[in-house]
């Protein structure tokens, strides 16, 4: 049904000053376009509601909120926002990134990433989250599909589910990467994003997400069991054994048992030095 919905064609105007070059992706609520910015004289990426979601108040509110948040942020490991276009067809204009997502890389690569690259990825993610947490913001949906690579830098994208620490949420996030407290409707904290780091590094290390589908459509596997150790799916040399231990610690079911974000950074720094 969604495939039959029209998309803007090359040459059409998405918003004043932004000409469509290509349609990049379609999600449950948004279309993503490659556009040309007259003001900047360069490519940009624009997110806008799908035609059938233009009047959906919740979709519009989330997009505008994400835009306001991103426009207030400046960090090398977080995607940069250029402009938030309001009106009947709102759009969030973002920088164009040169590489694909970590998810895409894992899906198409013939071999799993080098462990040193996984460690570097973790350092970049922790840096971005440290910045967000300093502004009392949680990402809440960290996963390989929400991390883009750009000239050697990992860049966190999609801040549509950002929330404040202490908020009670249920089912907000991505099922296979969601922390247990998110799945059960508990209060989220910095530890929730630490889980996201662990889940993303798990996928990058072994090539698969830590949790598959639950026993039935409404179940969450992370509420039923612990994640397998990464060593069960990939042999780690002695020098990188601490990486497996760290990922397991980040994926502790109890938030208070997970390491603090600063400790995760320190342990990754030690691994990088080694």
CATH topology of domain 102-273: Transferase(Phosphotransferase); domain 1 (1.10.510)
User: How many H-runs (helices) and E-runs (strands) does the chain carry?
Assistant: 7, 8
Who's near 85: CB < 8 A, 6+ residues apart? 15, 16, 18, 91, 92, 93
Which pair of tokens denotes residue 140?
A: 């809440």
User: In 3D, which of 172, 242, 180 has the Cα closest to residue 205?
Assistant: 242
pLDDT at 217 over 60: no
User: In 3D, which of 120, 126, 116 has the Cα closest to residue 250?
Assistant: 126
Q: What is the pLDDT of residues 22-63, one digit of tens each?
A: 999 999 999 999 999 999 999 999 999 999 999 999 999 999
The whole model's pTM is what? 0.93
CATH of range 2-94; options 3.20.20.70, 1.10.1740.10, 3.40.50.12780, 3.30.200.20:
3.30.200.20
pLDDT at 239 over 60: yes
Query: If you search the block for the tokens 């400790």, which residue do you land on?
Result: 263
Residues identified as active-site: 141
> Does residue 107 sit in helix, strand or coil?
helix
Is the Cβ–Cβ distance between 67 and 74 less than 8 Å? no
């Amino acid at each position: 049904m969604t495939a039959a919905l029209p998309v803007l064609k090359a040459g059409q105007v998405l918003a004043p000053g932004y000409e469509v070059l290509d349609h990049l992706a379609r999600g449950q609520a948004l279309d993503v376009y490659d556009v040309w910015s007259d003001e900047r004289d360069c490519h940009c990426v624009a997110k806008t509601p799908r035609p059938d979601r233009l009047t959906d108040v919740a979709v519009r509110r989330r997009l505008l909120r994400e835009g306001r948040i991103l426009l207030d942020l400046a960090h090398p490991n977080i995607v940069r926002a250029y402009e938030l276009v309001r009106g009947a067809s709102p759009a969030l204009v973002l920088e164009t990134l040169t590489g694909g997502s970590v998810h895409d890389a894992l899906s198409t690569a013939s071999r799993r990433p080098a462990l040193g690259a996984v460690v570097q990825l973790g350092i970049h993610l922790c840096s971005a989250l440290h910045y967000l947490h300093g502004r009392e913001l949680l990402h809440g949906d960290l996963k390989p599909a929400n991390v883009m690579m750009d000239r050697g830098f990992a860049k966190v994208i999609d801040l549509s589910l950002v929330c404040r620490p202490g908020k009670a949420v249920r089912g907000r996030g991505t099922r296979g990467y969601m922390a247990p407290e998110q799945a059960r409707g508990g209060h989220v904290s910095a530890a929730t994003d630490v889980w996201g780091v662990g889940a993303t590094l798990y996928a990058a290390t072994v090539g698969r997400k830590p949790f598959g589908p639950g026993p039935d459509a409404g179940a969450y596997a992370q509420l039923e069991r612990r994640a397998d150790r990464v060593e069960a799916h990939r042999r780690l040399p002695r020098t990188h054994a601490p990486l497996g231990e760290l990922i397991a610690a980040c994926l502790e079911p109890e938030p208070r048992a997970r390491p603090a974000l600063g400790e995760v950074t320190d342990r990754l720094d030690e691994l990088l030095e080694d």
